Amino acid sequence: MHVHMRGGRQSAKEDWGSGSRSALAGGVTVVVDQPNAVPPLTTPDTFRARVLEAKSGSLCHFAINSGVTHDTPFKAMWSAGAMAFGETFFAPSSYSDAITPLELTRALGEISRLGALATIHAEEVAPSSDDSLVSHDRARPAAGELRAVGAVRNCNTAGCRLHFCHMSTKSAVGAAPGSVEVTPHHLFLSLEQPHTPAAFCKVNPPIRMEKERKELWSAWERIDVIASDHAPHTRSEKEQPFAAAPSGIPGVETMVPLLMAEVLKRKISLQDVIRKTSANPADLLGITPAGFSAGDRGDFAIYPKSAAAVDPDHLHSKCGWTPFEGLPAIFPRIVVMGGVVVYEEGEFSPGNPSWLAGKGFFPP
């Protein structure tokens, strides 16, 4: 439900071909691309160009969200086929500036009138040095995430449907007035773990202390969605001095495999994984669910019953690295999309990928 497939001017990091292969090899058959691309997706023309780019390269099904700025033509973006609006930045991040509370209030009013979903990046950025993972955590503090959730609630005077992206703290998960998404990097990584170089784990919101990571797991039942926030950067970009390195990490290929290893440990259930990575996102977005009943998407994967360490040399993202190296994961042997085997034992086969347009799509 949350990927940044790059492409265009950022194709050195990732493109739709490499990103969709990475998704399929991780058991993911539908991705929702976020709008803080280059250029940002805030006009019907840039949106349609993004759809055409994805159609020409993606091996898996895809949807694309609209950006949210002070001058986004919301009705036109909805008619162009936007799946949802955002992630809406209530704090600055890579390739996107934050909008003000007044702008957010107006935007949520327009999105609500369309009957659409608004997805929110809720953070508070404090003045601070930004030269290490610890200082990055202090600059975007856990308490600030909670305050940002409260501020977004106050802005939502229209009662718009809200989905909170990549929550990193138990307190914010519990306070969010809408559906809640959490990433594997906030569930599996912490500041106490060794990171070399440190910028390979630089991400917004930051990874937190081990205590907060464990507390986030304790909110498992409240979490609606696990999404990767797949945001690859090149190795050379991440090897810059910490302050200059961009935020974001790859994760679409490792998301389900990391969770499946937790199923093997009996920490979570297989039903939990299916619900939080597939059924709930489909329900929130209003798309046909994957399953085995009449009318379902015939998408599923077959996994072995043994884990192996994550090896970046076996992954398919163009960026060529992962912060999850060495962690136990269970990768699928076979992936089926639309009743067709599209991935088997490291080999890809052609499928029938499609663009999943939002509910407001009005074909020209």
The answer to whether residues 246 and 94 touch, using CB atoms and an 8 Å cutoff, is: yes
Q: Which two structure tokens, joined as six digits, stand for 185?
A: 């990097």
Sign of CA dihedral 18, 22, 27, 31: negative
Which of 15, 137, 229, 299 is the catalytic position?
A: 229
Is residue 229 part of the annotated active site? The answer reads: yes
Which helix or strand (DSSP H or E) is residue 106 part of? helix 101-114
Task: Give CB contacts under 8 A, 24+ apart, made by 130-134.
Answer: 130/242, 130/243, 131/241, 131/242, 131/243, 132/198, 132/242, 133/191, 133/195, 133/198, 133/201, 133/202, 133/206, 133/207, 133/242, 134/191
Cα angle 174, 107, 72; round to 5: 130
Residue where the block lists tokens 């630089």: 202
DSSP string, 173-222: HHH-SSEEEE-HHHHH--TTS--SSGGGG--SSPP--HHHHHHHHHTGGG
Q: Give catalytic residue positions.
A: 229
